[in-house]
Amino acid sequence: MKLYALILSCLLSAGTAAAEVVKVGIYDFPPYVFISDKPSGIAVQMIAEMNRFQKDYEFVAMPTTSKRRYRDFENSKFDMIIFENKDWGWQGYPVDVSDVFVTGAEVYVTQAKPGRGQGYFADFKNKAMIMVLGYHYRFADFRTDQDYLQRHFNFLQTSGQKKKP
């Protein structure tokens, strides 16, 4: 009888083993993540779907910021990050990168004027721009170094894409 109870106990405990927690870094990066009282966006929806799809892992969103994400990763505050580009400063970190599943593009907007076409966006050095702190821009070779950006571009830097209350 004791052997039966031991086997039954092992079977029950194996079936109820806790899923391994995987912390997923998220930062304000619309439409992928909107940080507010309750984070939302495509990445948050994807985390929920990954949890519904399987039971071996429990994916948990861990808020960070676009600039602090590298330090938080080094300090193990999160294990993975999604909707990120390996060229956005991850080259020196011990990371594995998946195939690219979603691609996007930067969209530049300017006032319409006669003779101003797509060629207007070929050079950004003399244009006044707004840039988000910690974001990487192709026209700046994905660099975020403040000294470099100030030497080469005329920009106003903001900490996010939306107006804070």
pLDDT of residue 5: 46
Task: Flag whether pLDDT at 24 surpasses 80.
Answer: yes
| Phi, psi of 141, rounded to the nearest 5 degrees | 55, 35
Architecture of the domain spanning 18-81: 3-Layer(aba) Sandwich (3.40)
Question: Whole-angstrom Cα distance, residue 72 to residue 84?
Answer: 15
Q: What is the pLDDT of residues 35-74, one digit of tens each?
A: 888 999 999 999 999 999 999 999 999 999 988 999 999 9
pLDDT of residue 47: 96
Which whole number is the average pLDDT over 16-45?
Answer: 89
- Give, as one character, the DSSP assignment of residue 143: -
Number of H helices, E strands in the chain: 4, 5
Cβ partners under 8 Å of residue 66, min gap 6: 27, 28, 29, 132, 133, 134, 135
pLDDT of residue 121: 87
pLDDT of residue 104: 74
| Phi, psi of 75, rounded to the nearest 5 degrees | -90, 15
Q: In this prediction, what percent of the chain has a pLDDT beyond 70?
A: 85
pLDDT of residue 16: 56
Task: Flag whether pLDDT at 10 surpasses 60.
Answer: no
pLDDT of residue 114: 93
Segment among 73-87, 111-125, 134-148 with least mean pLDDT = 134-148
Domain ranges across the chain = 18-81, 118-158
pLDDT of residue 146: 82
